[in-house]
Amino acid sequence: MPHRVFAQPATPAAPTGPFSLPPLPYALEANEAAIDARTMQIHHDLHHAAYVNNLNAAVKDHSALHAMPIEAMLAKLPELPEGIRTAVRNNGGGHANHTMFWGIMGGKGGQPTGELMQAITRDLGGWDAFRGNFERAANTQFGSGWAFVTVTRDGKLAVAQKPNQDTPLMEGGRVLLGNDVWEHAYYLRYQNRRPEYTRAWWNVVNWEAVAQRYAAAKAGTLKV
């Protein structure tokens, strides 16, 4: 039987417009304890790049939006021109979510410490309860979506789930951390075993980066 060669997806053109694809802050293989390098490459270089390209295309003829940070644009979705609202929701949400996602991985897992751990104990019932509830939110999100931990200006935490590329930013909230449960985030290694992926994902969380996000949220400087 002849060997079959499958075509590789073409890399999208470099984004042109007010939004750009942030580089990964680590090597593609940095998250091998949960996510293989090939998935990281496809996810970042193709999927995230496509969100950025599509977002730039959506706002191309709306120069008043070009200087608006993505978190502000998402918070003002109902005020955007109707013709681009859905494109901004889907692609702007995807851009914001993935920018956050890359930034809180590349670590060695374990548990947080200090003020962040105190907040988890206070608001989320302690480490074991938090981890169980977060995995449940990730595993029970029907179809594609995200599990998040939201954070308020006074440091209060809550677990949330959102479909597709929706984000708490659309409600004026802020995200402490989140896990992507779209199939493209895990399918090469885990296929339909999403719970196996969501358990392994803790092994690559960078709690130092998450703690920095927590401090920024309390200071009012956290963006996406």
Residues 6+ apart with CB under 8 A from 207: 107, 109, 110, 111, 112, 113, 116
84-102 confidence digits (pLDDT tens):
999 999 999 999 999 999 9
> Is residue 4 predicted with pLDDT exceeding 50?
no
Residue 98 to residue 218: CA distance in whole angstroms:
22
> Which runs of consecutive H residues, i.e. helices, occur in the chain?
37-41, 49-59, 70-75, 82-87, 93-103, 114-124, 127-140, 187-190, 194-200, 207-219
What's the pLDDT score for residue 8?
Answer: 42
Give pLDDT tens digits for 183-198.
Answer: 999 999 999 999 999 9
How far, in Å, CA of 136 to CA of 208, rounded?
24
| Whole-prediction pTM | 0.93
Tell me what pLDDT residue 94 has: 98
Q: Assess whether pLDDT exceeds 90 at residue 10.
A: no
Contact present, 131 and 168 (Cβ < 8 Å): no
Residue 183's pLDDT is 98
Residues, the chain: 224
User: What pLDDT, in 10s, does the model give residues 46-67?
Assistant: 999 999 999 999 999 999 999 9
Q: Residue 16's pLDDT is what?
A: 80
Which residues lie below 8 Å from residue 60, measured CB to CB, with a gap of 6+? 17
Confidence of residue 149 (pLDDT cuts 50, 70, 90): very high
- Higher pLDDT residue, 183 or 8? 183
Q: For the segment 165-180, what is each residue's pLDDT rounded down to a tens digit?
A: 999 999 999 999 999 9
